[in-house]
Structures are given as structure tokens and as C-alpha cells.
Amino acid sequence: MGKNKLKKFAEMETFPNVFQCSAHSFTPNDPHGEADRSTEGRLEMVNEMCGHWREKFFHNDHPIVLELGCGRGEYTVGLAEKYPEKNFIGVDIKGARMWAGAKQAVEAGLTNAAFLRTNIEFITRFFAPNEVDEIWITFCDPQMKKATKRLTSTYFMQRYHQIVKPNGIIHLKTDSPFLYTYTMEMLRLNPYPVLAHTDDLYACEQYPDAQCLKTHYEKQWLDRGMKIKYIAWQLSPMPHFEEPTIEIEKDSYRSYGRNYQAL
């Protein structure tokens, strides 16, 4: 690991707005992380926040919004600045990237922005039922090879239902035609109320919250002439989950930060 990353990790330990669990804190044979004694203190601290984020960190009763796969935390910080009446938490496992947003929030004195470093599949360990009001998924890897890794799959939707309040809203911004098509099919099958959808976000003016912020990678994709896709949907009671099985054409380009080339 490079010295720069080690420096960032060390600095994040001093940030009051960062809650960390290492990438290996949870394993199939050790789901609660007891085997890694170096993380026990962090795990205990983060687990104590479950159900108490408002009172123990934010010290208010405002709505909680998550940014899943937050990367540099640009949406977490940007929305926190734009909406001081809401609380925002960026979630990702990549600590070196998260450092940028966490540091920016500290330097800006934002008291309504926090960061949780963990695997998103374990999200239900850190938030209580109905504790979350809204979720943003911004430019996640489309995971074209394995459906259960897609952040809009029924695998993850089941987890969102456990922490998001009834009728809570989920937003997806993506450059991936594959993920956009897959998500629309998932919403059709299950079905969820779709509040907004477009395969060319910046060609319309109906969705200001999705247009007001551009991430680092989003700007690069736009510079390449690519269209940004956006979907917003509402959680509703689900009797069962049906995973899409249709054939979807894979993305034919390499996106920034992804380590494969679709065929």
C-alpha cells in the first residue's frame, strides 16, 4: 500500500465525521468481525450508531439520506451544502477515495454530513428499520457478470427495505446503458412506482436535484459525449422479489475506475 494511502487512512481516523470498518471486518466465517481485534473498537462504535444516528451524531431529527458507493463523496458533500435541513451519510469501502469528501466536509464545517466505510452488503447492520428516508446510488459499477453485486438488484432491494421508511425514495445516476436497462426491468417486474426516468438526463430540465451536482467521473463521461441516465423510484410493500432474467446488451466501453472491458 502506498504511503499516500496510509497517510489518508491515518488522517481519517482523526475525522469526527468518519466511521470505519475495515474491508475484512466481515467474512462468511466471521460475520461480526470478532476475529479481527484491531477493528473491534470501530465495530462497536459503529454498531452503537444503528438506530441512533440522529441523536448521537447529527443531534437533530432531520431526514437521513444515504449515498451508496459514494466514492469521493461529492454527492454527500454537495447535497449536504444544498440541503442543511437533511442529514447525509456517504457509504463506501474505498477509504482513500472517501477521504476527499470527508476532509472537505470537515473543512467546510458541515455538521449534516458523515461517512461510513464498510461493505454495502452489510448496510442493515448499521441502520435500524425506517431510519433512512432516501438513497442515492451514484455511478456504481454495473457488475454485468453477477446480478447479486448490482446495487439495484433484488438482493440489495431486500436490504434497502429493511432500513428505508415506507414510501422512501431511491435515486440512480449511471453512465451504464446496461445498468439502466436492468434497473428499469427490475422495477417493472416487482413492481415499484417509478417517479422519474430518462436515458439522457441533461437533455431535459425536470430533475434539478439529479442535475445540480456532477461527480468527478460524471464530468469525464460527459466530456466523452456519453449520456447520463437517471431513475427515481419509491419503495412499496413487496410480497416477493422477482429478479430480471432478460438478455441485456453489455456496455461496449470501459468506464473510468472499472477493471474490465465488456465484450
Tell me the pLDDT tens digit for each residue of 84-137. Answer: 999 999 999 988 899 999 999 999 999 999 999 999 999 999 999 999 999 999
pLDDT at residue number 255:
57
Q: Identify each DSSP E strand in 21-104 by its residue range.
A: 64-68, 87-92
Query: Is there a contact between 235 and 159 (Cβ–Cβ < 8 Å)?
Result: no
SS3 content of the chain, % helix, strand, coil (to 5): 40, 20, 45
Model confidence pLDDT, tens digit, residues 187-239: 999 999 999 999 999 999 899 989 999 988 899 889 989 999 999 999 988 77
Query: Please, what's the b/e burial string for 199-222 (b: 16 or more CB within 10 A of its CB; e: otherwise)?
Result: eebeeeeebeebeebbbebbeebe
Model confidence pLDDT, tens digit, residues 142-157: 999 999 999 999 999 9
Query: Is there a contact between 224 and 257 (Cβ–Cβ < 8 Å)?
Result: no
Q: Is 54 helix (H, G, I), strand (E, B) or coil?
A: helix
Residue 81 has pLDDT above 50, yes or no: yes
Query: Is there a contact between 110 and 81 (Cβ–Cβ < 8 Å)?
Result: yes
Q: How many CB atoms lie within 10 A of CB 251?
A: 19
Interatomic CA distance for residues 144 and 127, integer angstroms: 28
Give the H or E element holding residue 184.
helix 177-189
pLDDT at residue number 211:
93
Choosing from 133, 141, 199, 209, which is the catalytic residue? 141
pTM comes to: 0.88
175 is catalytic: no
Measuring CA to CA, how many Å separate 55 from each of 1, 13, 88, 131, 182? 37, 22, 14, 12, 38
